[in-house]
Amino acid sequence: MSALDKFLAGWSFRSSTPDYEPGDTIEVMVTGEKGGEATARIGDSILRIEGAPDDAVDTRVLVAVETWDGSTHRGTGTYRETVGGSAF
Amino acid sequence: MGAAGGSKTEPRISFYGGKWASTVPLGFFILWAVFQSGVLGIGDTNGLVIGALIGTILGLFFVRGDWKTYADTIFEGMTQRVAATAIVAWLWAGMFAETLQVGGFVEGLIFAADALNVGAATFPAAAFVLCGLLATGIGTGYGATVAFVTLFFPAGVLIGANPVLLFAAILSGAVFGDNLAPVSDTTIVSAVTQDADIGGVVASRFKYAIVAAVPAFIAYLIMGSVLSGASLEGAAALRDTATAPGLVHLISMGVVIATAVAGRHIVEAISWGLVVAVGFNLALGLSSVSDILVFTVTEAGTFTALPFVAVGDTAGVGGSLYAGAIGFFPLIVLTLLIVSMAQIMIRGGGFAAIQEFLLNSVATTVRRAEVTMVLGTAAINGMITINTAAEIAIAPYIARIGEKFNINGYRRANILDANTSALGYIFPWAGGVLVGYQVMVGPNGLGAEYGPEMVVNPIEVVPYVFHGWFLVIVFLVAAVTGFGREYVPDRTSGEVSRA
């Protein structure tokens, strides 16, 4: 990202329910788990993550998005790898 | 990052009355500060020191068991790097600003303002821009406030600008620089605590800063025309003393800004500025050696031939280096006590209790989470006088709450720093306001030199710190509308290269 791009990033009104496309690979913070499966809350959208490690909560992981419902802002994806942790 | 440890470990101090009792020292101090400076209108920093001491003693009586842990926590808080950073910045900035003052910088600015036709009405707007520039360069809003209240403020008041509005405009400039400067201690804290690189953080926060700064500038232009200035006897005579040579200290300031923007440490930047300022003073005859540093003895002797030794009625040390540094001693003591009270609150569990409440009851959607982050940061900074200390205390909550909604580190850092910077310069007990007030009321203060018109009651400036208020409003609007919001998947941060 160029210096100019850094200054111009974020000059927009962003939805509280971001949507993603099947096929996207995204980095997310795992924010909780439900029924033994990791979940990532992105704004008010929810991504269920299959195959994540048991201790994945509060780690940053790469996820391949497989399904996404734009009306409910819910989707599923597959865990790829852990790339970081919480800032605290 | 003292608060980080507090968020992950069990409280080490147990209180009668539970975790909330750990807020007694800081809570008592805030009530004292509001009563003293807000209700009674007494801005004496030494008075706040006594309030902090009594508050710290009061907290002792709520401790269960051995009081030693509580006492140890006082030392733990005082030895945090954040306190030392602020103290060093104040000492250096105080020496620098005082040396420029004895070098006739004020007289030069009065001359320039007359020459450039910057009148009373436009002086506050000009002060906002110039103080913002200096603070962005040297990275310390406190230092910029000291320099501008010492140098620009008297010049503006003598020209006829409203003292309250002018002080508020200087504070607004300090907010701007504290928020945006890459070398600012608050900028660095905001970036490293949110796992974001400093360069990216500065670039991403430019949009918020400019959206608040433009209307603030316009507001100062408008209010500068609406509010009248003080009537100072002898102002005309002082204006006659305005001379151009003192303007050479614009170069001294430029050296500090250029060195700081080039990425040098704040101590190095101000030291170079100090060397240049002393050089100009002596080379151009703007001041004598003894104006900068003097040892006064009561009887003439071998050493009185030296230019920095003088004979006087009372033995002592003086000069701009001495007066500039010593003027901040009361505030330094207060700072140490405040960070120790904050540490007691962290070790006592008061901060953790607030975090639990926020995550479970308030921050239930991303909008509510961001509004909570804005108001939480503002509230903590409203309570804790020294804004960098407040920022460090709240940083773990901003990280945790933001991460629960995958809010990007840049966005979290911007919410954290903007409200930290803004609230650090608005209320009467805020550190930024106090340092400026200290310049007015100190032993060699503006009030003693020019008269009571040069002393502004800190509570009067509250509504006029436009950039501070606008920055908070911008972030509240941004939280509700999503302006500038970025999520973790949007982009990853660069290396956090400067801790």
A18-71 per-position pLDDT tens digit: 999 999 999 999 999 888 899 999 999 999 999 999 999 989 999 999 999 999
Q: Tell me whether B488 touches chain A (CB under 8 Å).
A: yes
pLDDT score of B430: 85
pLDDT score of B71: 94
Q: Taking CB atoms and an 8 Å limit, are B484 and A10 in contact across chains?
A: yes
Q: Is residue B355 part of a domain?
A: no
* Count of domains forming chain B: 2
B373: exposed, middle or buried (C-beta count within 10 Å: 0-12, 13-18, 19+)? buried
Shortest distance, CA A60 to any CA of chain B (angstroms): 9
Q: Is residue A11 part of a domain?
A: no
pLDDT score of A76: 97
Of B298, B316, B348, which residue sits at a domain end? Answer: B348
Q: Is residue B499 part of a domain?
A: no
Q: Tell me whether B4 touches chain A (CB under 8 Å).
A: yes
Q: Taking CB atoms and an 8 Å limit, are B485 and A10 in contact across chains?
A: yes
pLDDT score of B130: 83
Q: Is residue A7 part of a domain?
A: no
Q: What is the extent of the structural domain holding A48?
A: 17-85
Q: Is residue A41 part of a domain?
A: yes
Q: Taking CB atoms and an 8 Å limit, are B487 and A9 in contact across chains?
A: no
pLDDT score of B287: 94
Q: What is the extent of the structural domain holding B484?
A: 81-287+363-490
* Count of domains forming chain A: 1
Q: Taking CB atoms and an 8 Å limit, are A14 and B482 in contact across chains?
A: yes
Domain match, B57 and B89 both: no
pLDDT score of B231: 60
Burial A47-81 (b: 16+ CB within 10 A, else e): bbbeebeeebbbbbbbbbbeebeeeebebbbebbe
Domain match, B47 and B109 both: no
Domain match, B55 and B134 both: no
Domain match, B73 and B192 both: no
Q: Taking CB atoms and an 8 Å limit, are B483 and A13 in contact across chains?
A: yes
Residue A70's CATH number: 2.40.50.140
Low-confidence spans in chain B with pLDDT less than 70: 1-11, 37-38, 41, 43, 82, 86, 137, 183, 230-241, 257, 260-264, 266, 384-386, 389, 494-499
β-pairing, B294-297 with B309-311? Answer: parallel
Please say whether the beta carbons of B449 and B396 come within 8 A. no
Domain match, B130 and B220 both: yes
Q: Which residues of A touch B (CB under 8 A)?
A: 1, 3, 6-7, 9-16, 18, 20, 26-29, 31, 40-44, 58, 60, 84, 86-88
Shortest distance, CA B411 to any CA of chain A (angstroms): 9
Domain match, B86 and B18 both: no
Q: Is residue B316 part of a domain?
A: no
Which of B281, B318, B296 is closest to B102 using CA atoms? Answer: B281
Residue from the list A14, A31, A41 with its beta carbon closest to the beta carbon of B486? A14
pLDDT score of B496: 45
pLDDT score of B234: 46
pLDDT score of B9: 47
Q: Is residue A75 part of a domain?
A: yes
Instruction: State how far the Cα of B493 lies from the Cα of B204, in Å rounded to an integer.
Output: 11
Domain match, B128 and B12 both: no
